[in-house]
Structure 1
């Protein structure tokens, strides 16, 4: 009996020691470089954002942030990889709404489920904006709609990814305006711009950040926000032009499932501090990004709400 009691005490002490070790490991995180995976092309919004965050994250977390790319499937290749990565906090991945919601709803071969991605936070939003080349004969949204009606199925709109904010937004606007345009998916916003400037597509359903980067080479017809943005006071909203259309993308960061909450919270706190840094905030807003912040718990509710919204929306739309 005494031997049993002694053995039990030893086992209990081992569990206590193990728990203390785990706590110490979490407290010490990070002890080596963190890989920050971007699921889109270099030069797009996700890449621009990560590059801007990089020096601030390194200072806050005290370690190197290595940015890498896993491109394809409108982000699905990168998100499929992250769900299989080791859940130790040393591989994180940028992710997007509506992409991570709409893709698994629309495709059987996505390679991940929305619930597989453990969200650290959402830190940014960018509205959709419809643009044409600066030398286009299309001057206004009214011109665009009329041209599309006169040339059904011949108008092409490029955008970032499939089943993305750009893709869904194009379908939404087609429905509202009673037109038929063809959506051309690119592997990222940066990849879509040369197609527009080279005359390979009629226009882009892109993001405000891309427009501000190429403002001298693009003409904005309308922006998908509730009100005009101070950054673009001369660009009308779709709503004021008679189309109840508000759409855009949210960007955040996720980690593999089963990543310890302590690590998730530490990462979330770091990204929150980056957003709150005045210099970073000023830089991003000047580039057309809108900073938001939803932490781990808020993110769960936000994803649930947006999932219901997109399910309802897609039941009314024909997405090809």
Structure 2
């Protein structure tokens, strides 16, 4: 039996068989490096319910917000590499942060391995329902008429880079207002303290569906089935090609390959079967089964692109 056959056979074993004895009965912890209510939190809780049913083990979602996700990532980086601690990996933590900070306490490519994905996502451009601009073109015209007087709220690296790149490609000047959590930015938008927020469709969906906020456009590969009348940003600004939000699951890099493969299989099953599949599709995500190799290639390619986005938007690296 060659090494590849041995690894394939090992991957087919139950996760418990691949773990040290002391790790087999541990609760599974999913660290979400942002606050409750966001897209990562929602996705992690869907996965936790699936893993509880699949493994019979307790699965706990642990929100550790702060520092653009860095606090939560650090907690996962130093956790045991035995499959008992998972990290909700996002565009911010694994793609944008490395482009925005000269020094990070972690290296996503060296310290972690992606083991699953919730699928490519989409992004809303949100304004108040009573805003004077009814279309994306109206918003751009208003911003050009008052340079720097329209504010956008950002609550993580993804929302910051997305808005800055949009402003650059639209030829407008927007003022950035930072928030610690998405809920704070949404509250300020509804109160009229800021004029626009870019957020992925998972965390923005309830605001749009309830009429609390209005989407002027969506950034996605195609118009949304749920809102076919909602234009894509690229229809007006074709150079705006940034990828929509990424949500995935990562583990410490030292986690045994067999454990990574087992987790990969479980997550692929979770996101491609109901009820999670239908919920993700309802949020305009496109869930699909992806291999460990595909995830690694995606991460390398997208990290290079996000550095380019930061350079193009002329965002000051901290």
Structure 2 length-normalised TM? 0.86
Q: Give how far 1:71 is off.
A: 0.6
Q: Give how far 1:49 is off.
A: 0.9
Q: CA 1:147 to 1:23, structure 2 compared with 1: closer, same or farther past 3 Å?
A: closer
Q: State whether structure 2 residue 170 is matched by structure 1 residue 177.
A: yes
> Residue 265 of structure 1 corresponds to which residue in structure 2?
261
Structure 1 length-normalised TM? 0.86
Q: CA 1:126 to 1:23, structure 2 compared with 1: closer, same or farther past 3 Å?
A: closer
The 5 A counterparts of 1:134-149 are: 134-149=129-144
> Residue 292 of structure 1 corresponds to which residue in structure 2?
288
The 5 A counterparts of 1:231-250 are: 231-247=226-242, 248-250=244-246
Q: State whether structure 2 residue 120 is matched by structure 1 residue 152.
A: no
Q: Find 1:102's aligned residue among 96, 104, 124.
A: 96
Quick check: 1:79–1:93 contact (8 Å CA) kept in 2? Answer: yes
The 5 A counterparts of 1:1-320 are: 24-26=17-19, 30-97=24-91, 99-115=93-109, 116-161=111-156, 163-164=157-158, 166-215=159-208, 216-247=211-242, 248-320=244-316
Structure 2 unaligned segments of length 5 or more: list them. 1-14
Quick check: 1:79–1:117 contact (8 Å CA) kept in 2? Answer: no
Give the whole-Å Cα distance in 2 for the aligned partners of 1:35 and 1:242.
41
Give the whole-Å Cα distance in 1 for the aligned partners of 2:112 and 2:150.
36
Give the whole-Å Cα distance in 1 for the aligned partners of 2:181 and 2:273.
27
**Count of aligned residue pairs for this structure pair:** 297
Q: CA 1:288 to 1:226, structure 2 compared with 1: closer, same or farther past 3 Å?
A: closer
Give the whole-Å Cα distance in 2 for the aligned partners of 1:25 and 1:139.
56
Q: Give how far 1:23 is off.
A: 9.1
Give the whole-Å Cα distance in 1 for the aligned partners of 2:225 and 2:143.
29
Quick check: 1:45–1:189 contact (8 Å CA) kept in 2? Answer: no
Give the whole-Å Cα distance in 1 for the aligned partners of 2:116 and 2:248.
5
SS at the partner of 1:35?
Answer: strand
Alignment root-mean-square deviation, CA: 2.1
- 42-51 vs 121-130, greater mean Cα deviation: 121-130
Structure 1 unaligned segments of length 5 or more: list them. 1-21
Q: Deviations over 1:132-161 (max 9, x none)?
A: 010111211111111111221121112330
Q: Deviations over 1:203-244 (max 9, x none)?
A: 111122233211211111111123211121111011222433
